[in-house]
């Protein structure tokens, strides 16, 4: 069915739930997994940079992203599946577009990702990476929602 599965990961319970679902697919189909984490290096550069050490904050973002990828890859490996990882960087771009571009470049056949399922004002204020991926991608997307509320 799907042999190349891309999984965006972050540090949330919802992301972990999506990764576990992707693992089920990968085991059943003997598929390849690619775990990606996206960071926006511009988020500190636009304001108060005279008070902040922007390069240090960007370095911390990269280190944190690599840690998330390493922990996720270890979970995958402990399940008997191998995965490649990639830290995707954007400079003030749309995170969803970075995920979609990587999925295209890697020839992903499926994207599995978590969604918080926010609606109303919360959705309007926070936006939705999952919704953006759905809007931009030509690749099928499986959205996984965590059963617990207020994660």
d(CA 68, CA 62): 10
* Residue 115 DSSP symbol: E
d(CA 127, CA 119): 9
d(CA 148, CA 146): 6
For residue range 4-48, list pLDDT tens digits in order: 999 999 988 999 999 999 999 999 999 999 999 999 887 765 555
Q: What is the 3-state secondary structure (H, E, C) of 78-112?
A: HCCCCEEEEEEEECCCCHHHHHHHHHHHHCCCEEE
- Structural domains for the chain: 4-145 (3.40.50.620)
Query: How large is the average pLDDT for residues 88-101?
Result: 91
Residue 66 has pLDDT above 80, yes or no: yes
Residues 6+ positions from 30 with CB-CB distance below 8 Å: 3
In this prediction, residue 131 has a pLDDT band, given cuts at 50, 70 and 90, of confident
């Amino acid at each position: 069915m799907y042999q190349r599965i891309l999984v965006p990961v972050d540090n949330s319970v919802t992301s972990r739930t999506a990764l576990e679902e992707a693992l089920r697919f990968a085991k059943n189909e003997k598929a390849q997994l690619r775990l990606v984490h996206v960071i926006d290096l511009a988020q500190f550069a636009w304001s108060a940079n005279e008070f902040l050490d922007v390069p240090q904050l960007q370095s911390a973002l990269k280190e944190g992203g690599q840690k998330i990828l390493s922990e996720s890859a270890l979970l995958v490996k402990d399940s008997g599946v191998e995965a490649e990882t990639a830290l995707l960087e954007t400079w003030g771009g749309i995170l969803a577009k970075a995920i979609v571009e990587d999925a295209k470049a890697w020839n992903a056949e499926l994207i599995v990702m978590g969604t918080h399922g926010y609606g109303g004002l919360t959705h309007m204020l926070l936006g939705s990476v999952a919704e953006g991926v759905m809007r931009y991608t030509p690749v099928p997307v499986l959205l996984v929602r965590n059963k617990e509320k207020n994660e």
